[in-house]
Structure 1
Amino acid sequence: MNAPLPLPASPAPAIVGTLAVRRFGAGRPLVLLHGGSGSHTHWIANIDRLAQGFEVVALDLPGYGDAPRPASRDPETYIGSLAEDLAAAMADAGPFGLVGFSFGGTLAAALAARLPGSQVSALTLLGPGGFGVPEGRRLPIVPTPSAAQDPAGHRAAVAQNLGAFMMSRVPAVDEAVVDLHSANIARQRFDSRVISLADRLTGDLARVHCPLQVIWGAKDQLCVPSVAHRAGLVRAVQPDAEIHILPGAGHFVQYEVPDAVAALIETFHHQAFSNRVPS
């Protein structure tokens, strides 16, 4: 696939507690949570389109991107602080849609379970974590040399690792996604695995009462034993969940098939919001 266009002119973030908050477009609010080793740029291929119909609120989570370090590395403290900061950032917004990718999907489910039922209009998870430690998963990750000391080796390793766990293919070393991921890992100051490898997602989803949509890339290599197995676990606690498994994409599904993902999110959140509001 061709590299997506750069983000539209990105506003400087507002710092709310330990969140860096950027807003794009106008309309019903849609909050985007990125994955581990990421930032709001995990949505680089989606923000422009989604901002045509929503006010997109793209976050850098605590310890990532431009956000401050979290006050604590304890998972429940991290989530509790995030819930408070998100409530403050969205205090005047009314009901909002919540979309989380990977680590951000684990967090989005936890937030939807914690926040008042009237606050989250609908929840979308893309390749969420939170299914526990994946026993038997083997990913061909290679060590990443310093970008300053070995620029070529660094780019080659980043590209290889993107193909090992994020994408359905190994990108070329000169692709924009290599720059995106390299910049994000350089600014990571929190280990997402303490949350995303916990066995918590289905328990949190059992306490969620808003409409739920879950999207996976069919070639998501992080899903062990399979995408279908994880979809079944979600369906067991949320029988009415809208589940999509998209061909031709890996874990980074919103980057690899951006139009398909954006269309699903748009339709689902517009419909869910409309169903809440009397005509």
Structure 2
Amino acid sequence: MNASLRSPASPAPAIVGTLAVRRFGAGRPLVLLHGGSGSFTHWAANIDRLARRFEVVALDLPGYGDAPRPAGRDPEAYVAALADDLAAALADEGPFGLVGFSFGGTLAAALAGRLPAGKLTALTLLGPGGFGVPEGRRLPVVPTPSAAQDPEGHRAAVAQNLGAFMMSRVPPAADPVVDLHSANIARQRFDSRVISLADRLVGDLARVECPLQVIWGTKDQLCVPSVAHRAGLVRAVRPNAEIHLVPGAGHWVQYEAPDAVCALIETFHDQAFSNQVPS
């Protein structure tokens, strides 16, 4: 088990449109977008630390966790509604940083191009999707039996699938991360793939003007043909992007390497904010 995995003391979420919004800590706002089949708990190993420096605004995206179901499956309608609801949630806030993981990274890049000038101080993407359908990718996922009918088989399958696409290893079936992921799966009511498997990330990043940071685990099994190939696509359109590869971590890089990832996010967003403040 990752020793940093503790459920942060969680306030009841505020429902803003189709978002469930939780706030932790104080300071400049830092908005966190989770990945597919997830919720704000994708950041369970990170919120406590980040909340020492920022006001962490951790969202359940439409159709996930405690958030309401979106009106439909149309990708552009989903992004447009998310942009409106995020603006409403942060209406009383100043400029903020945005961090998105996986599906949330795809969304963060799309949102960044829609925000008013000066509203976004910096953008961090962790293992983002949006590179199109990964031809030839084969992941050894297994069917997940019902938790009610076969609890042991359910836990074993969830653990196996975490190792197949989220992590660099298969966790023990008794690991609390299995409970976290199982709970997220049970509350998923939107198929993230209609957005995360679209070929849109590079085009969206071309419209983003704020500083950009992208982080991958070197063992991210979702990156086909490779992490280096995807990093090259980002550099082609954003040559000044700050790109980091975290050794030994899988797709869920902020869970497997929380200290390294939090340090990268803190340093990058502090520097980006400092560069915007007139001397």
Task: Please show how residues 1-279 of structure 1 align to structure 2 within 5 Å.
Answer: 2-279=2-279
Q: Secondary structure at the match of 2:66?
A: coil
- Residue identity matched to 2:37: S
Measure, in 1, the Cα distance between the counterparts of 2:171 and 2:62: 28
Measure, in 2, the Cα distance between the counterparts of 1:74 and 1:133: 17
Measure, in 2, the Cα distance between the counterparts of 1:2 and 1:95: 33
Q: Secondary structure at the match of 1:124?
A: strand
Structure 1 residue 6: deviation in Å? Answer: 1.8
Q: Secondary structure at the match of 2:116?
A: coil
Q: TM-score, normalised by structure 1?
A: 0.99
**Percentage identity across paired residues of the two chains:** 86
Per-residue CA deviations over 1:179-199 (Å, capped at 9, x if unaligned) read: 110000000000000000000
- Residue identity matched to 2:248: G
Measure, in 2, the Cα distance between the counterparts of 1:147 and 1:211: 43
Q: Are the counterparts in 1 of residues 2 and 256 from structure 2 also a CA contact under 8 Å?
A: no
Structure 1 residue 8: deviation in Å? Answer: 2.5
Measure, in 1, the Cα distance between the counterparts of 2:18 and 2:265: 27
- Residue identity matched to 2:111: L
Measure, in 2, the Cα distance between the counterparts of 1:262 and 1:269: 11
Structure 1 residue 116: deviation in Å? Answer: 1.2
Q: Secondary structure at the match of 1:182?
A: helix
Q: Secondary structure at the match of 1:155?
A: helix
Structure 1: where are the runs of 5+ without partners?
Answer: none
- Residue identity matched to 1:133: V
Measure, in 1, the Cα distance between the counterparts of 2:258 and 2:158: 21
Structure 1 residue 140: deviation in Å? Answer: 0.4
Measure, in 1, the Cα distance between the counterparts of 2:89 and 2:2: 34
Structure 2: where are the runs of 5+ without partners?
Answer: none
- Residue identity matched to 1:230: R
How many matched pairs? 279
Structure 1 residue 277: deviation in Å? Answer: 1.2
Q: Are the counterparts in 2 of residues 110 and 201 from structure 1 also a CA contact under 8 Å?
A: yes
Measure, in 1, the Cα distance between the counterparts of 2:232 and 2:276: 28
Q: Are the counterparts in 2 of residues 3 and 177 from structure 1 also a CA contact under 8 Å?
A: no
RMSD of aligned alpha carbons? 0.7
Q: Are the counterparts in 2 of residues 3 and 176 from structure 1 also a CA contact under 8 Å?
A: no
Q: Are the counterparts in 1 of residues 2 and 255 from structure 2 also a CA contact under 8 Å?
A: no
Structure 1 residue 278: deviation in Å? Answer: 1.3
- Residue identity matched to 1:31: V
- Residue identity matched to 1:106: T
